[in-house]
């Protein structure tokens, strides 16, 4: 091309023309790449709730896995679990702050993570998350809604009302003895307990007796079409 045009323009002008064309091509390619990167980022953001759901689900599953065999754990084991609980709450808080959680199940899983906190604020947030899960249509969140309310009430020196909270009365040499106190049993009827997937008072008494000697609950809470987690 330059050879054919050499009669009309100088070699230097031809080189400059090539440079301009090359620069335009590079810029076009760069803009195309940037556009594709932006599109990919938008797609990733649009699917963020899916990624978040998997992540919060992983945190929830870790939380539950830590508690398998709870009746036979030592205080030292519970201390280590508490440290992992704190890290899970930190990660869940980041998801809440960023708006990653979207579905009712996301909020239910997050509720369980904060239910295993160590302050009244943790339990209150857990209850709010459970209510958000129910508002989004997650009927399975009924139990955690009741449990978070009970735990919050006891944390602020008030009696629980559903009867979801059990505590050991002695921790050494290993946990033993059990109680639900403080517990105002007159506020909620067994019929209403069933609506929140909570076992009856008679079932709770059996659970207390079993927990006192380190056995699993014979009458666990749970929703009709699934577990209370």
Give pLDDT tens digits for 112-153: 999 999 999 999 999 999 999 999 999 999 999 999 999 999
What would the mean pLDDT of 73-80 be, rounded to a whole number?
89
What are the domain boundaries of the chain? 49-223
SS3 assignment, position 42:
helix
Half-sphere exposure of 90 (CA within 13 A, CB side): 6
What would the mean pLDDT of 66-76 be, rounded to a whole number?
85
pLDDT of residue 30: 47
For residue 210, CA distances in Å to 202, 203, 204, 218, 229 come to: 13, 11, 10, 7, 19
pLDDT of residue 35: 52
Of residues 144 and 75, the one with the higher pLDDT is 144
Tens digits of residue pLDDT in 2-49: 444 444 445 455 445 554 544 444 444 445 544 554 554 444 444 444
pTM: 0.73
């Amino acid at each position: 091309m330059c050879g054919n045009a050499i009669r009309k323009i100088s070699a230097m002008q031809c080189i400059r023309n090539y440079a301009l064309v090359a620069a335009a091509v590079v810029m076009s390619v760069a803009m195309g790449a940037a556009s594709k990167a932006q599109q990919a980022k938008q797609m990733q953001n649009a699917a963020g709730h899916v990624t978040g759901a998997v992540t919060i689900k992983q945190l929830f599953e870790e939380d539950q896995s830590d508690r398998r065999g709870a009746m036979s754990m030592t205080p030292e084991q519970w201390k280590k679990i508490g440290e992992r609980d704190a890290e899970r709450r930190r990660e869940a808080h980041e998801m809440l702050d960023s708006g990653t959680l979207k579905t009712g199940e996301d909020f239910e899983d997050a509720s369980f993570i904060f239910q295993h906190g160590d302050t009244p604020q943790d339990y209150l947030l857990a209850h709010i998350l459970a209510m958000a899960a129910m508002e989004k249509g997650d009927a399975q969140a009924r139990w955690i809604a009741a449990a978070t309310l009970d735990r919050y009430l006891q944390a602020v020196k008030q009696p629980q009302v559903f009867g979801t909270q059990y505590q050991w009365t002695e921790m050494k040499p290993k946990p033993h003895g059990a109680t639900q106190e403080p517990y105002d049993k007159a506020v909620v009827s067994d019929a209403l307990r069933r609506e929140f997937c909570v076992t009856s008072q008679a079932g709770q008494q059996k659970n207390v007796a079993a927990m006192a000697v380190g056995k699993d609950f014979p009458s666990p809470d749970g929703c009709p079409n699934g577990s209370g987690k």
